[in-house]
């Protein structure tokens, strides 16, 4: 039987297959007004199409725990009840089609307050709905980016509480899985890496200090996230720097700790924290990092990174390199990837009644 279409159970949640959709920002929420940060018709249609296409798990894009935590003014947020109500429409539809709804809780840190990618992605100021970014240290992400305001210990504790509140709201909104965003150069990743964290207090310097915020967030979220529901953590397994960066060795060490703190699966990506890093992009280029975590720790893992066809995805799982695959660009191109992959591999997947003529 196809490995790609075997169910996967974490705690009391069973995901019907291993074709998963990773968080991919749509930059399509209102930047101001009562619906700021709330999902709208675009988001509903976007996620509903992938559920109708048979995707087993959909992780809703990076959703900010505070207004300042958005990557752009057009990002989703989950800091108020208006946003919660709007999310319920999406989670109800996904659940009705057998897709497990998940959400990525995020804070953009020093990479916040930027324009939408198709508008260039440059930093924006108050005249374009922008704000002053925050970070572990007063180090800009890249030339032309603002120097972030260095967070005080009191402000760090406030952000931990924001993740706690966001997790409570995510549960109320109908999500079955929460993922903490610790990758791609956003706030938690900034604290993890010595490239971006030059603090000299309890949140900087040593490995133990640099991982402190991440573990505090995990503990805070796990405390309010139900025992029967899984918790994921997304990580950049390497900064792709020759020195003074977060490394694959750090990731393996940290993965074991995350397991001890109640994380159920590591969503393994790479990069995003060093603007000048050279990344050898190619088919499945990030899979070896997931495979190493799976081989050397007790934590379940999901692999990402230019996984584009059924045979490739099947091989990753059959070789025990990961427990599931997350297909980003391919699901943007083809919302029905899971249904077509099932046909190719001789497996079965949920098909809406209205689409049975396509089987």
Cα separation, 39 vs 99, whole angstroms: 18
> Choosing from 27, 47, 74, 186, which is the catalytic residue?
186
CA torsion 106-161-38-50 (nearest 10°) is 40
Cα separation, 211 vs 175, whole angstroms: 27
Closest listed residue to residue 257, CA positions, set 302, 214, 311: 214
Beta bridge partners of 100: 57
Neighbouring residues of 239: CB distance < 8 A, sequence distance ≥ 6: 193, 195, 245, 246, 247, 271, 273, 274, 277
Q: Is 285 a catalytic residue?
A: no
Cα separation, 73 vs 334, whole angstroms: 28
HSE value, Cβ hemisphere, 13 Å, CA-based, for 315: 10
Cα separation, 25 vs 62, whole angstroms: 6
Q: Which two tokens stand for residue 291?
A: 């495979």
End-to-end CA distance of the chain: 19
Judged by DSSP in three states, 350 sits in coil
Q: Provide the phi-psi class of 106: left if phi over 0, else alpha when psi is between -120 and 50, else beta.
A: beta
Cα separation, 140 vs 190, whole angstroms: 11
Neighbouring residues of 95: CB distance < 8 A, sequence distance ≥ 6: 101, 174, 176
Active site residues: 186
């Amino acid at each position: 039987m196809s490995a790609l279409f075997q169910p996967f159970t974490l705690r009391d949640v069973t995901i019907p297959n291993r074709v998963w959709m990773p968080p991919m920002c749509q930059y399509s929420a209102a930047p101001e007004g009562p619906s700021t940060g709330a999902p709208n018709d675009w988001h509903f249609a976007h996620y509903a199409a992938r559920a109708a296409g048979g995707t087993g798990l959909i992780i809703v894009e990076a959703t900010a725990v505070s207004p300042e935590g958005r990557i752009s003014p057009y990002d989703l947020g989950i800091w108020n009840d208006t946003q919660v109500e709007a999310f319920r429409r999406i989670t109800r539809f996904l659940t009705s089609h057998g897709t497990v709804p998940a959400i990525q809780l995020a804070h953009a840190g020093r990479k916040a307050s930027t324009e939408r990618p198709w508008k260039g992605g440059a930093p924006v100021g108050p005249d374009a709905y922008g704000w002053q970014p925050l970070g572990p240290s007063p180090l800009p992400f890249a030339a032309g980016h603002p120097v972030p305001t260095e967070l005080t210990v009191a402000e760090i504790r406030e952000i931990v509480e924001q993740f706690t509140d966001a997790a409570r709201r995510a549960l109320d909104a109908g999500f079955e899985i929460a993922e903490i965003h610790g990758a791609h150069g956003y706030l938690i990743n900034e604290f993890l890496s010595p490239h971006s964290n030059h603090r000299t207090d309890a949140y900087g310097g040593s490995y133990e200090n640099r991982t402190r915020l991440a573990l505090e967030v995990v503990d805070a979220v796990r405390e309010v996230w139900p025992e029967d529901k899984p918790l994921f953590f997304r990580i950049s397994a390497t900064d792709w720097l020759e020195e003074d960066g977060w490394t694959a060795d750090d990731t393996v060490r940290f993965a074991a700790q995350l397991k001890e703190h109640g994380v159920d699966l590591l969503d393994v990506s790479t990069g995003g924290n060093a603007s000048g890093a050279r990344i050898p992009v190619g088919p499945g280029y990030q899979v070896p990092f997931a495979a190493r975590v799976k081989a050397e720790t007790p934590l379940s893992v999901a692999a990402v990174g230019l996984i584009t066809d059924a045979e490739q995805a099947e091989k990753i799982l059959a070789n025990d390199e990961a427990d599931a695959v997350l297909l980003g660009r391919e699901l943007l191109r083809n919302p029905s990837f899971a249904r077509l992959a099932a046909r190719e591999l001789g497996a079965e997947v949920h098909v809406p009644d209205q689409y049975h003529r396509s089987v």
